[in-house]
Chains A and B, each alone.
Chain A
Amino acid sequence: GAGVSQSPSNKVTEKGKDVELRCDPISGHTALYWYRQSLGQGLEFLIYFQGNSAPDKSGLPSDRFSAERTGGSVSTLTIQRTQQEDSAVYLCASTGRGFSTDTQYFGPGTRLTVL
């Protein structure tokens, strides 16, 4: 079946602009995660959604970052007033029933470059 998809694949923006990154999880997966992968910080957790529960936003680095998940499926990560340090690959993962529940399956990521 279809895996996790993310769009756009690459995004170049100017400092100060807002960007939206999209994640489509695997159909039927109830949990969705966002991670950031950057040269200086490695792979970092950003936010976690589970069904209709309040999201775990504890990994968001600043209030310029926000995310929502509509209808329990598609998620959008929004970065306002982008800064050069926001340049990174943003990865989305969803939880399903592979080896067992809670194995996270990742999308191909969005590479964000802030000029």
Chain B
Amino acid sequence: AQTVTQSQPEMSVQEAETVTLSCTYDTSESNYYLFWYKQPPSRQMILVIRQEAYKQQNATENRFSVNFQKAAKSFSLKISDSQLGDTAMYFCAFRRGTSGSRLTFGEGTQLTVNP
């Protein structure tokens, strides 16, 4: 079974600064995907970024980037130039490489961006 751990229940950052959210996972799979989802108070779970395990290059999406350390089973999310709209709960998630596999989520990190 897979497990995903987010050890930071809450974090805060000043607007325009950079923040990094941590995530570790445990799996015996060799083919898998990792995701960061954002859940604002509206409850809508929004995909932020994804990483294929077979790719060595870290994924980036505008202000969001990941540091994927496969050997260490670590998958952190860096948010640059933080904006007030980034305030949300952030979930790290794992999915096996098999089509149709369920997502396994971490506990979440509540990020607050302060003006």
List residues of chain A with CB under 8 Å of any chain B CB.
Answer: 31, 33, 35, 42-43, 45, 48, 50, 56, 59, 89, 91, 93, 95, 98-99, 101-109, 111
Contacts and interface: CB of A to CB of B under 8 A. Distances in A.
A33 B44 contact: no
B91 to A, nearest CB: 7
Interface stretch (B65-73, B79-87, B102-110): B102-110
Interface of B: 33, 35, 37, 42-47, 50, 91, 95, 99-108
Given A42-B105, A102-B95, A108 B100 contact: no
Contacts of A56: 100, 102
Label chain B's interface by main secondary structure: loop
Contacts of A48: 100, 102
A48 B96 CA distance: 14
Contacts, number: 54
Given A43-B91, A102-B99, A102-B100, A108 B42 contact: yes
A98 B35 CA distance: 13
Given A43-B91, A99-B50, A104-B95, 6 more contacts: A35-B103, A89-B43, A93-B103, A95-B100, A99-B47, A109-B44
A8 B109 CA distance: 27
Given A31-B100, A42-B105, A43-B105, A105 B43 contact: no
A99 B59 CA distance: 11
A50 B100 contact: yes
B107 A106 contact: no
A102 B31 CA distance: 14
- Residue among A95, A102, A103, A105 with the most chain B CB within 10 A? A102
